[in-house]
Amino acid sequence: MTRATQTVSLLLLLSSLYLAAYLQLIPFPAKIQDDIIPVLPFWLLVSFGAYLLANLGWGVLTFRDTEDAYKELLTEIDEAKRDLRARGVDVD
């Protein structure tokens, strides 16, 4: 089973469970049924977005830890500055 098939299967399972809970086929207490289940997809979407932003922030924060990529980027910046100076552009 490929990773895509597993992901689609999991999403179908979770969406069918949510639909069953939303349509009250699975009994829950009234407070959960009225207050939590209707907003659960939005909560999951916001949580996923927060996770992605945190992951991106952590990657930016620890960028210098990847020494090879850091040195390669500095080399490319120096090459670009040399090229622009050769064309008469002030880069400093």
Measured distance between the N- and C-terminal CA atoms of the chain, rounded to whole angstroms: 55
Q: How many Å apart are CA 3 and CA 52, to the nearest integer? A: 20
Predicted TM-score (pTM) of the model is 0.59
31-78 pLDDT per residue, tens:
999 999 999 999 999 999 999 999 999 988 887 777 888 899 999 999
Question: What are the sequence ranges of the domains in the chain?
Answer: 1-28, 38-91
> Given CA atoms 22, 27, 33, 39 in this order, what sign does their dihedral have?
negative
> What pLDDT does 1 receive?
78
Q: Show the tokens assigned to 77.
A: 């910046």
